[in-house]
Chain A
């Protein structure tokens, strides 16, 4: 094999590759994957949007924020829904694979709600008490003004953004080993519904058939329930943004869809789903 043939081969192959793939047209097919907290809202967005834009097909699945971001990194989804910010390690992977830092779109606000059984005497807890409960340092309801009964903890799996957010902002340490991890916020709500001594946490949109615990920033602060007003006024202490992550700046059908989500029409659905608009 002569050397110039190899050079020619390499250069031609590379040029063909560039020409062949650089201008691949984007189809009007959008895949969305990630946060279970966001999945109901994301499905609603997709459903309503597809009615008025029949040429765009949107497929929405859950799995957790970590799962969605992994799917974004490995090219399995166009949009990763996340109830937490992208971690630096995840951003590094995105840089390595796509040479971008990704695009973060805050699409809704959420107050992480603490669920209790309706028969529980406890009606309010401070962030510190919640942290101690989930670390396993407070084990009995009587230690926080409730009945003499063991506290049973319910939480999310570690692929969940809610799990990570609650750990970083409330627990501030390791979860107690006896905290039962459940696949999805709906499962947490169901578990607390059936357990008089249970406590759980999750998105505000799922809080049905259970008691919502008021939360106070510290012992001297008033306790609040997550509402549009308390979140807007920064009174409710456990609030977070919900995000959509993309690899690149959106174009075409994806851009139209994102723009619509951030429009008053899209944000109206945020409120209907039990979350709070970003503005």
Chain B
């Protein structure tokens, strides 16, 4: 019995001492916790550093899916769904004052780069910035994002003068602190998005990343924001375009179809215009705005010189360069309806040739004395003015989602009499309608667009 008791005592003692030996002291526990906290703090600091780098990258973008119905009988198919935009914008601002922007577009069947530029801000006065790359041309409607725009498309004149909106070049911006004045001066390649055909109809201006010629175009825009107290504000300004294309022909015809000028290959064919703009914002019944712009000047398209037809000595007649005096404007009225809805209408007008009226079209013509070296040039559809009355209603489900109904009523300038200017067209069933479109009447080009936009 004594022996069993002794063994039990030894066993309990061993257990007791073992238990005591394993139990950490308070200091040890504290050290362990401290070590853990220090480890976590170190990890957190590393994670914060990584996170800080990530916060320098901003990703935004938007997608627009739409259904369109065209009333113009010559448009086939006359109704379809399409993806108008699928863009993601990456902005990387590693250090204060240097920003990189890249915007790829992922429309089905076409991957393209919309924006790709670097912005260097002056770190001293913080008023100047230099842009280089591919960016929006300095113009109000061009720079106003289509994700915010109140009508489905930009005005006709803006789409004509600035196709694709962007251009490659460099820009200086001046935005002084505390003064609501903004100034932009851009030097651009100038031929971005322009078609310049040769004698066989091939577009010579297909290299998007290079200039077509050695001439650089200058754009300048200045605006001022005027506060009108409790009423709202008035922004106003002007912009000018001073550029030229390289002549690819030996003649330049004016849009009056009578004046023709001798030029050399490579001479500058001028394209100069100027415009004035305003945007009035009024805090009336939930907010409304009226915006407008008028632009007039001289644009140009490039012809080509006569060439020998393949396999013959006969010459294919050349086409003269063409300089057209134009004018156009747009006027928006936009009204907010509560927090979630917006109504807008816009009237826009574009006359590509102010030298002649609709009654002169097909009558005004230039006939070369030597028909083998220069094609006769007859005024036509491209000289007719277009006016568009657009109506739109938007509903904002939230900050990200907008649904829009847009209806454009399009009117063309009419020619003098029936049969002077006509076009054939093909119906959906394949039937050809000869001279079905007569420009002595208004050709129905009205368009309905139902669009849903997701933005993030």
Chain A interface residues (CB < 8 Å from chain B) = 1, 3, 6-7, 9-11, 13-14, 17-18, 21-22, 24, 73-76, 88, 95-101, 103, 158, 173-174, 247-249
Task: Verify A100–B448 contact, CB threshold 8 A.
Answer: no
Give, as a whole number of angstroms, the nearest-CB distance from A48 to chain B.
27
Task: Verify A101–B232 contact, CB threshold 8 A.
Answer: yes
Chain A hits for B391, CB < 8 A: 10-11, 14
Chain A hits for B285, CB < 8 A: 22
Task: Verify A248–B283 contact, CB threshold 8 A.
Answer: yes
Chain B hits for A9, CB < 8 A: 448
Q: Which of B175, B283, B398 contacts A74 (CB 8 A)?
A: B398
**Given that A76-B399, A174-B96 are known contacts, is A98 also in contact with B446, CB under 8 Å in the complex?**
no
Chain B hits for A6, CB < 8 A: 69, 71, 407, 446, 448
Give, as a whole number of angstroms, the nearest-CB distance from A176 to chain B.
12
Assembly CA distance A73 to B230 (angstroms): 19
Q: List 9 A-B contacts (CB under 8 A).
A: A6-B448, A9-B448, A17-B395, A22-B286, A98-B287, A100-B282, A101-B281, A174-B95, A249-B283
Task: Verify B444–A3 contact, CB threshold 8 A.
Answer: yes
Chain B hits for A17, CB < 8 A: 337, 341, 343, 393, 395
Task: Verify B71–A99 contact, CB threshold 8 A.
Answer: no
Label chain A's interface by main secondary structure.
helix
Task: Verify B337–A10 contact, CB threshold 8 A.
Answer: no
Does B288 sit at the interface, judged by CB under 8 A? yes
Q: Which of B145, B335, B409 contacts A99 (CB 8 A)?
A: B335
Assembly CA distance A99 to B398 (angstroms): 17
Does B130 sit at the interface, judged by CB under 8 A? no
Give, as a whole number of angstroms, the nearest-CB distance from B147 to chain A.
9
Chain B hits for A74, CB < 8 A: 398-399
Task: Verify A14–B343 contact, CB threshold 8 A.
Answer: yes
Give, as a whole number of angstroms, the nearest-CB distance from B91 to chain A.
13
Chain B hits for A7, CB < 8 A: 407, 409, 446
Task: Verify A75–B281 contact, CB threshold 8 A.
Answer: no
Smallest Cβ-Cβ distance to A73: which chain B residue: B399
**Given that A75-B396, A96-B144 are known contacts, is A103 also in contact with B405, CB under 8 Å in the complex?**
no
Per the 8 Å Cβ criterion, residues 351-404 of B in contact with A are 391-393, 395-396, 398-399
Q: Which of A10, A99, A103, A174 contacts B407 (CB 8 A)?
A: A10
Task: Verify A100–B409 contact, CB threshold 8 A.
Answer: no
Chain B hits for A3, CB < 8 A: 71, 444, 446
Number of A-B contacts (CB under 8 A): 96
Assembly CA distance A74 to B401 (angstroms): 11
Nearest first, the 7 A-B pairs at minimum CB distance are A74-B399, A10-B407, A99-B289, A21-B337, A100-B287, A99-B287, A96-B148
**Given that A21-B340, A96-B148, A101-B232 are known contacts, is A14 also in contact with B446, CB under 8 Å in the complex?**
no
Assembly CA distance A90 to B448 (angstroms): 33
Chain A hits for B407, CB < 8 A: 6-7, 10-11
Smallest Cβ-Cβ distance to B400: which chain A residue: A74
Chain B hits for A21, CB < 8 A: 337-338, 340-341
**Known pairs A75-B340, A96-B144, A101-B233. 5 more at Cβ < 8 A?**
A6-B71, A21-B338, A22-B337, A173-B123, A248-B283
Does B339 sit at the interface, judged by CB under 8 A? yes
Chain A hits for B227, CB < 8 A: 101
Assembly CA distance A96 to B336 (angstroms): 11
Assembly CA distance A73 to B399 (angstroms): 8
Chain B hits for A18, CB < 8 A: 337, 343
Per the 8 Å Cβ criterion, residues 271-303 of B in contact with A are 279, 281-283, 285-289
> Which one of B227, B233, B286, B407 has the greatest number of beta carbons of chain A within 10 Å?
B286
Assembly CA distance A22 to B340 (angstroms): 10
B-side interface size class: 35 or more
Q: Write out, one digit per residue, whether chain B residues 417-456 have a CB within 8 A of any chain A CB (1) or not (0).
A: 0000000000000000000000000001010100000000
Assembly CA distance A269 to B77 (angstroms): 67
Give, as a whole number of angstroms, the nearest-CB distance from A136 to chain B.
13
Chain A hits for B337, CB < 8 A: 17-18, 21-22, 24
Give, as a whole number of angstroms, the nearest-CB distance from B447 to chain A.
9
Q: Which of A24, A76, A97, A99 contacts B288 (CB 8 A)?
A: A99
Task: Verify B69–A1 contact, CB threshold 8 A.
Answer: yes
Per the 8 Å Cβ criterion, residues 287-343 of B in contact with A are 287-289, 334-341, 343
Task: Verify A75–B399 contact, CB threshold 8 A.
Answer: yes
Task: Verify B283–A101 contact, CB threshold 8 A.
Answer: yes
Chain B hits for A158, CB < 8 A: 55
**Given that A7-B407, A17-B337, A248-B286 are known contacts, is A97 also in contact with B148, CB under 8 Å in the complex?**
yes
Assembly CA distance A229 to B144 (angstroms): 47
Chain A hits for B233, CB < 8 A: 95, 101
Assembly CA distance A186 to B185 (angstroms): 46
Task: Verify B405–A10 contact, CB threshold 8 A.
Answer: yes
Chain A hits for B335, CB < 8 A: 99
Task: Verify B405–A14 contact, CB threshold 8 A.
Answer: yes
Give, as a whole number of angstroms, the nearest-CB distance from A247 to chain B.
7
Q: Write out, one digit per residue, whether chain B residues 141-159 have a CB within 8 A of any chain A CB (1) or not (0).
A: 0001100100000000000
Give, as a whole number of angstroms, the nearest-CB distance from A55 to chain B.
21
Assembly CA distance A95 to B283 (angstroms): 10
Smallest Cβ-Cβ distance to B126: which chain A residue: A168
Chain A hits for B96, CB < 8 A: 173-174
**Given that A99-B287, A99-B334 are known contacts, is A13 also in contact with B405, CB under 8 Å in the complex?**
yes
Task: Verify B289–A95 contact, CB threshold 8 A.
Answer: yes
Give, as a whole number of angstroms, the nearest-CB distance from A171 to chain B.
11
Smallest Cβ-Cβ distance to A102: which chain B residue: B283
Chain B hits for A96, CB < 8 A: 144-145, 148
Give, as a whole number of angstroms, the nearest-CB distance from A33 to chain B.
13
Give, as a whole number of angstroms, the nearest-CB distance from A9 to chain B.
8
Chain B hits for A248, CB < 8 A: 283, 286-287
Give, as a whole number of angstroms, the nearest-CB distance from A15 to chain B.
9
> Which one of A7, A88, A101, A247 has the greatest number of beta carbons of chain B within 10 Å?
A101
Smallest Cβ-Cβ distance to B96: which chain A residue: A174
Task: Verify A99–B144 contact, CB threshold 8 A.
Answer: no
Task: Verify A103–B95 contact, CB threshold 8 A.
Answer: no
Task: Verify B339–A75 contact, CB threshold 8 A.
Answer: yes
Q: Which of A13, A24, A103 contacts B283 (CB 8 A)?
A: A103
Give, as a whole number of angstroms, the nearest-CB distance from B253 to chain A.
38
Smallest Cβ-Cβ distance to A249: which chain B residue: B283
Task: Verify A10–B448 contact, CB threshold 8 A.
Answer: yes
Q: Write out, one digit per residue, whether chain B residues 95-111 have a CB within 8 A of any chain A CB (1) or not (0).
A: 11000000000000000
Smallest Cβ-Cβ distance to A95: which chain B residue: B281
